[in-house]
Amino acid sequence: MARPASWHHGTVRLRTLVPVTAGLGAAAVGYATVIERNWFALRRYDVPVLPPGSAPLRVLHISDAHLTPGRRRLMAWVRSLDELDPHLVINTGDSISHPQSVPCFLDALGPLLDRPGVFVLGSNDMYAPEPHNPARYLTGPSSRWRIRKEPDLPWEKLRDDLTAAGWLDLNNQRGRLTVGGLDIALAGVHDAHVKRDRYERVAGQADPSADLRIGVMHSPEPRLLDRFAADGYDFLLAGHTHGGQLCLPFYGALVTNCGIERERVRGLHRHPADGQAWLHVSAGLGTSPWAPARFACRPEASLLTLTPRESR
Ligand SMILES: [Fe+2]
């Protein structure tokens, strides 16, 4: 019996469409997991935040390496960043994702460890990653998920090894550094995402006599950014968002995984959005081993060249 023409054409279309769609899907997954995930980008920004007349200060911002021992390309790329000759390295956390990763992370930093550096920790430095349905990220920040009680990654070794190399631990602490001839007052908080931030321990006016005041955190939560800005910190740095990690071309991040809005999920902005302080959010170097893909959101580190602000 002859079939209706429309049925026949529909079947042909479906027979073509299914393999083409499946092929495109497989290509996108391959691209996101193999190519873009290892296609590291160096972002460069000038930040006019220094006293008039100061010489430029190069700050290297790294974040969210989520290092596992097999990620040799990531390690080699981080090590190569020493060639940028930064005066100061700022690491905003989620450095490791595996019990054996601390020596690998130190090895990746290599000569950068001999430079002045500061750091805070992120939740992934403390808790080994678990498999999640990625769709959960679309329903709200992962801070609403259950927080495990006992950390199972060697965050103390990470902290101690970085501190032993001379880097400043800014987890709920203040610090002070002189780099490039500039007196810098710093404060940081531990990860708000797992409720370890204790802003009250660093609260109070940042020293107005310092040349620069820097606030450091893992997750750019507006309530923390507000407090740093109100206390007079000129320059705020955070990571955590992965820039959205899986983005839509010409649209950007679908989610930020924290309280900040999509428009400031990555890059250099002001805080408040129309305010005085500068905010840099790093899209990060890595991914959770359980979601090893990036799309329209290359892994990155940032060279932030601090320059004199315009005199008022
Ligand atoms: Fe992260």
Q: How far is the CA of 29 from the centre of ligand 1 (A)?
A: 20
The per-residue pLDDT for 94 is 97
The per-residue pLDDT for 214 is 98
How far CA 51 is from CA of 118, 226, 312, in Å, comes to 22, 23, 11
**214 with 235: CB under 8 angstroms?**
yes
Residue-wise pLDDT tens digits, 143-196: 655 667 789 999 999 999 999 999 999 999 999 999 999 999 999 999 999 999
Query: Taking 60 as the threshold, does the pLDDT of residue 108 lie above it?
Result: yes
69: phi then psi, degrees, rounded to nearest 5: -60, -25
Q: How far is the CA of 94 from the centre of ligand 1 (A)?
A: 5
Helix, strand, coil % (nearest 5) of the chain?
Answer: 35, 25, 45
Q: How far is the CA of 263 from the centre of ligand 1 (A)?
A: 18
Query: Taking 90 as the threshold, does the pLDDT of residue 141 lie above it?
Result: no
Residue-wise pLDDT tens digits, 279-308: 999 999 998 888 888 888 899 999 999 999
Q: How far is the CA of 293 from the centre of ligand 1 (A)?
A: 13
Give the chain's length. Answer: 312
- The three-point CA angle 237-70-74 to 5° equals 35
The per-residue pLDDT for 1 is 43
3 state DSSP class of 271: strand
Q: How far is the CA of 24 from the centre of ligand 1 (A)?
A: 28
Q: How far is the CA of 65 from the centre of ligand 1 (A)?
A: 7
Residue-wise pLDDT tens digits, 205-240: 999 999 999 999 999 999 999 999 999 999 999 999
Q: Which residue has the higher pLDDT, 149 or 41?
A: 41
Q: Over range 27-34, report the average pLDDT.
A: 86
Q: How far is the CA of 245 from the centre of ligand 1 (A)?
A: 10
Residue-wise pLDDT tens digits, 91-102: 999 999 999 999
286: phi then psi, degrees, rounded to nearest 5: -135, -160
Residue-wise pLDDT tens digits, 237-250: 999 999 988 889 99
The per-residue pLDDT for 188 is 98
Q: How far is the CA of 240 from the centre of ligand 1 (A)?
A: 4
Q: Over range 125-141, report the average pLDDT.
A: 77
The per-residue pLDDT for 297 is 87
3 state DSSP class of 145: coil
170: phi then psi, degrees, rounded to nearest 5: -110, 25
Q: Over range 121-146, report the average pLDDT.
A: 77
- The mean pLDDT value of the chain amounts to 91
The per-residue pLDDT for 13 is 73
Q: Over pLDDT 90: what percentage of the chain?
A: 71
Q: How far is the CA of 308 from the centre of ligand 1 (A)?
A: 31
Q: Over range 37-64, report the average pLDDT.
A: 97
3 state DSSP class of 303: strand
Query: Taking 50 as the threshold, does the pLDDT of residue 2 lie above it?
Result: no
How far is residue 138's CA from residue 262's CA, in Å, rounded to a whole number? 13
Q: How far is the CA of 5 from the centre of ligand 1 (A)?
A: 54
The per-residue pLDDT for 109 is 98
Q: Over range 114-137, report the average pLDDT.
A: 88
The per-residue pLDDT for 7 is 47
Q: How far is the CA of 287 from the centre of ligand 1 (A)?
A: 7
The per-residue pLDDT for 129 is 85
Residue-wise pLDDT tens digits, 7-16: 455 566 777 7
The per-residue pLDDT for 12 is 60
Q: How far is the CA of 129 from the centre of ligand 1 (A)?
A: 10
